[in-house]
């Protein structure tokens, strides 16, 4: 048995095409382009690369971008002030704070300065609550992208046992909430989980989101299970032992080319949605 690959690149391409159409329609009607502001603190090379890539993707689908770059020594107070200004700027529709920020900054305080209607990355407590309660709001982009990818392959979730490995506030926790909203039975695993292998072996759906290379072993995967690898580690290695897992799984995401493209595509789609809400 060999798993079917969940092609995030192809699904993201389709979502981006629809987003470009919506952005064009908004621009024609409103007389301005939907605009995403990106905030980068410091000179971390990986963060700078990610922000540049997101700006390029904005341009490709007709979304304007505004770059706010701050020095590494920026204080929490200054960062909050910059984000607050963007939150009140009528020409900015969405705000992305590239994370992680330097260690001396209170990242949560910075996130909470983003107005809920502009939280297109889905990082605020307001957005998390909306996801948890099934209310309107923006999804955290990686969890939301995962759900869209599963939907594109018509993967049923109701009644299935889903195991989320990882409990970060912008990935593990919200993806569990979104799966629960689809009537999956959700178990969270983390560094204190006893016998992780035994828990994973019972899962119909596994979401690995912990940031440890190949933590989830292929032999743990239940035959026919859906495996979503949201990890990315040096050397294009995910959180799942891919080759061995692919021999047992029914569906699996590659790294790269699985979850990553969906994250960016949903960020841009939600930026257009934020713009549309202002009309």
- Positions marked active-site: 54, 98, 121
Rounded CA separation 49/172 (Å): 24
Residue whose pair of structure tokens reads 């689908």 in the numeric block: 61
Helix/strand/coil for 180:
helix
Helix (H, G, I), strand (E, B) or coil at 146: helix
Q: What values do phi and psi take at 229, rounded to 5?
A: -100, 105
Name the packing angle between helices 141-152 and 8-30 (round to 10°): 110
Tokens of 232: 């990315």
Judged on CB neighbours under 10 Å (0-12, 13-18, 19+), 212 is middle
With tokens 């569990």, the residue in question is 176
Q: Which among 165, 112, 119, 122 is positioned nearest to 143, based on CA atoms? A: 122
**Which residues, other chains included, contact 92 with Cβ-Cβ below 8 Å and sequence gap of 6+?**
35, 36, 37, 66, 86, 118
For residue 255, how many C-alpha atoms fall within 13 Å in the half-sphere facing its CB?
24
CA 51 to chain centre: 14
């Amino acid at each position: 048995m060999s798993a079917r690959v969940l092609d995030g690149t192809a699904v993201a391409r389709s979502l981006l095409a629809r987003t470009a159409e919506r952005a064009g329609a908004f621009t024609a009607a409103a007389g301005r382009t939907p605009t995403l502001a990106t905030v980068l603190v410091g000179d971390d090379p990986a963060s700078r690369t990610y922000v540049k890539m997101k700006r390029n993707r904005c341009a490709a689908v007709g979304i304007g971008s505004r770059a706010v770059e701050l020095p590494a020594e920026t204080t929490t107070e200054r960062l909050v002030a910059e984000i607050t200004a963007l939150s009140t700027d009528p020409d900015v529709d969405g705000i992305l704070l590239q994370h992680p920020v330097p260690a001396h900054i209170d990242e949560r305080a910075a996130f909470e300065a983003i107005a809920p209607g502009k939280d297109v990355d889905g990082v605020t407590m307001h957005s998390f609550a909306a996801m948890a309660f099934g209310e309107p709001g923006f999804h955290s982009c990686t969890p939301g992208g995962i759900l869209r990818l599963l939907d594109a392959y018509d993967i049923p979730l109701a009644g299935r046992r889903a195991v989320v490995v990882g409990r970060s506030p912008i990935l593990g926790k919200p993806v569990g909430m979104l799966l629960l909203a689809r009537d999956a039975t959700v178990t969270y695993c983390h560094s204190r989980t006893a016998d992780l292998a035994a828990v994973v072996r019972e899962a119909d759906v596994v979401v690995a989101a912990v940031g440890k290379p190949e933590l989830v072993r292929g032999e743990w995967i239940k035959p026919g299970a859906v495996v979503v690898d949201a990890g990315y580690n040096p050397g294009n290695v995910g959180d799942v032992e891919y080759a061995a897992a692919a021999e047992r799984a029914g569906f699996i995401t590659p790294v790269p080319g699985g979850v990553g493209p969906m994250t960016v595509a949903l960020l841009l789609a939600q930026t257009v949605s934020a713009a549309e809400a202002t009309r």
